[in-house]
Chains A and B, each alone.
Chain A
């Protein structure tokens, strides 16, 4: 076939242009010539011109003026012109262009052309860019071609039908009978097209799927033929007979066998045969094995077959080829939830993949490793994960850090280990952790009271080494401020003693304050810490006083405000300073994942000021009563500090603070333990809404060592009482009280009968269901009122 000379000459001219500008010039000239030619009457070179235009289009230059020419060429009787015209239509027209509708008629005519190659052009174009209207128009034609034509056209019609069904779902019904009959064809191309079409029909419509289930035996036969047949030169690829068709049939079997015992049973033998007989030395064999494994894991296969499939994946993990390892991990990720133990066996190999050079493999290995962490392997896994974190590519750092935190929170074997791990992460990847890490870590530290000394020493040393990681610096400053006395004492059993003088500590804090690397939030932390040290050290209080007064004229408004207030604390309110800056009690744990307000640093800093209460110096006498909510915003509390005791801090966090004072709020009553068995506890708290109405909140918690699922509560009350149960917060209770389930029950007792409630607790523990009933006779605080 002689190449198009004008086209090649133009391509040569464009390629010989030495600069972008020169190239643009050549192209502009050529386009002008092409435009002129388009306007002329029919000459022999039309197809060459359009081809030139298409080349220019591929280089990225605009070519929309060629759209009408495409339409004209498609209508031409010459095959050469039709060919280029259709190619142009596929490249320049898409369903969004108006011109595409103009070719519908040409396509319709060409579909019934006497020459099959013309028919195939039309089919191809329709399948590539046919819009919904065109598809609706031409669907009957395609159906006709599916039934009565040669195999060349049938296979193209089949894929064209696939496109139509994707565009217009309702037309699927039209093709079902034809698709069914195509399965008995011998030609592989037609068979392949038929299988693709059936897959599409089944995915769109579940009823169609039911009807096609009957074809499973036929499909199994075809597959068997392919797997067991001898060498067929036409379809052979490295010893596998027609892998494309095999993979497609496996996909269809997967769809038909899903959730269906009968169909799955009939494919078991075949799948086992394919899994064992397929040669896995080349990629093509592995492709078929991969599809087989996916199918086995998705249908209701028998356990022996499932084990075989997971073993194949295990073999894949050890393969030298990176691609194979990558897809093995992708598949294992899908089943790690259901076949957890099977995947655990390969944990070693997966962890090794963390060290692979390739970024894609690393990412997969990280996700899978995080999913495999459990209470038994937490120490060894964490070692590997931390090692990974220190050398991992930057785009994976944030994900790795948050994964490590979650794992540490769920499975930490000891508090010291937990703190150590979090510190390690902050030192390695402090810039990539989420904002709530800082308050979470601080809360964790306050909870571990015996480790305060160890923690503050460790943080101080880390601070000396590096002050660029903001999260780490924030936590370190907070700890130095809070536990400065322990730091200065110098002796600590858990770590080597280091002599820290007051000047050293203040130097460290001042470095943070002055460094340009510190963010404004961090400097806020450092300033507050410096202030707190004023009550924990003896000699250098003047130095602190001078630092604080300098920052009173700082250009940063937040720092300035703090400094001014601390100054006031030194001057007018010096008698209160010791109390205000006293050691903070343990911060109560919020529910996991709870973000404590918008700002991170500021929130924690203001906790000492929240000690201000309505009208009384409660903080001096009852420090134990106070719960510090870290989401207390700075505003009103700060005012409170300045103006003394007159303004109460309850303004914004009103209800929360007043809660603790017990008797102040009569409507809210303290929770009562209603049920305690097998590690499951149910507490009950009531709130009177009206004279006859009552809202009961049931809170369930699980302190045993195993997770509970399908946790449900049912309630029954005396006849005249109306009961309405709201939706529960969840239905799973993880072990060791990591999360609770709450459910509200609204009661209405218009007849004021004696209120009793029977509650049935049901849940599943390790696969076996459990049920119990408890009767609640007394509701806290209700006595004679209700």
Chain B
């Protein structure tokens, strides 16, 4: 029922983010990335967003120069997954302000943190955009204040 993985990669085949929701060895992960990337990059524009690979359904969507790609199990709702991908892009956009690929490259850890506020264990965690943004803000603030606190000289 859950998603198996989420991959973000560019048109040139460079991986920008990988999140795995099932335990796989490094070799297996590399194989999945290679195969799925090859399949998705070979698709002509304006084709159907759904593919079949081995026993999983692959749903992908292209946003500017990045492909957002996820693997689903058999009974999952593909159309809803397209909405999930779209929601993630919206969250990134809200956080970075007009997000582009470079933002995700140079701030990859933030992209992960946002993802972790939105999805967990392959399932949607929070369905409200506002709630996710608020959590991110609070966590960032905490990080800053903690840093300041720790760096303050102790008198």
Contacts and interface: CB of A to CB of B under 8 A. Distances in A.
Interface secondary structure of A, over-half rule: helix
B154 interface: no
Contacts of A251: 77
A447 B73 CA distance: 48
Nearest to B124: A244
Nearest to A356: B48
A129 B23 contact: yes
B78 A159 contact: no
Interface in B104-151: 105-109, 112-113, 116, 120-121, 123-131, 135, 138-140, 142-144, 146-147, 150-151
B109 A51 contact: yes
A247 B125 contact: no
Contacts of A200: 1
Interface in B86-113: 87, 105-109, 112-113
A340 B121 CA distance: 38
A3 B106 CA distance: 9
B84 interface: yes
Q: Which of A87, A159, A188, A245 has the most C-beta atoms of chain B within 10 angstroms of its own C-beta? A: A159
A83 B120 contact: no
Given A54-B109, A234-B130, A290 B79 contact: yes
Interface stretch (A358-366, A485-493, A739-747): A358-366
Contacts of B109: 4, 7, 51, 54, 84, 87
A159 B118 CA distance: 12
Contact of A359 (B47, B83, B116, B147): B47
Contacts of A189: 125-128, 131
B89 to A, nearest CB: 13
B51 to A, nearest CB: 6
A348 interface: no
B36 interface: no
Contacts of B12: none
B128 A95 contact: no
Q: Which of B116, B127, B140, B142 has the most C-beta atoms of chain A within 10 angstroms of its own C-beta? A: B127
A58 interface: yes
B47 A117 contact: no
A323 B78 contact: yes
A159 B123 contact: yes
B5 to A, nearest CB: 12
Contacts, number: 158
Interface string A289-319: 0110010000000000000000000000000
Contacts of B121: 127-128, 159-160, 162-163
Contact of A188 (B1, B20, B128): B128
B23 A94 contact: yes
A162 B84 CA distance: 19
A78 B147 contact: yes
Contact of B120 (A160, A290, A363): A160
Contacts of B18: 58
A363 B108 CA distance: 37
Given A188-B128, A244-B124, A244-B127, A287 B80 contact: yes
Nearest to B24: A94
B31 interface: no
B144 A1 contact: yes
Interface string A112-133: 0001010010011001110000
Interface string A233-260: 0110100001111010001000000000
Contact of B126 (A4, A54, A155, A283): A155
A136 to B, nearest CB: 16
A184 B104 CA distance: 38
B79 A361 contact: no
A162 B147 CA distance: 34
Contacts of A55: 108
Interface of B: 1, 15-18, 20-21, 23-25, 30, 44, 46-52, 77-80, 82-84, 87, 105-109, 112-113, 116, 120-121, 123-131, 135, 138-140, 142-144, 146-147, 150-151
12 contacts: A58-B18, A96-B25, A159-B123, A160-B121, A163-B121, A189-B125, A196-B123, A243-B83, A244-B84, A244-B124, A287-B82, A291-B80
Given A55-B108, A84-B109, A124-B120, 20 more contacts: A3-B106, A54-B109, A58-B15, A78-B150, A83-B143, A96-B25, A120-B135, A159-B120, A160-B120, A160-B121, A189-B125, A193-B125, A199-B1, A244-B80, A244-B83, A290-B77, A294-B77, A327-B78, A359-B47, A360-B48
6 closest A-B pairs by beta carbon, nearest first, are A287-B79, A1-B140, A79-B146, A322-B48, A287-B80, A127-B121
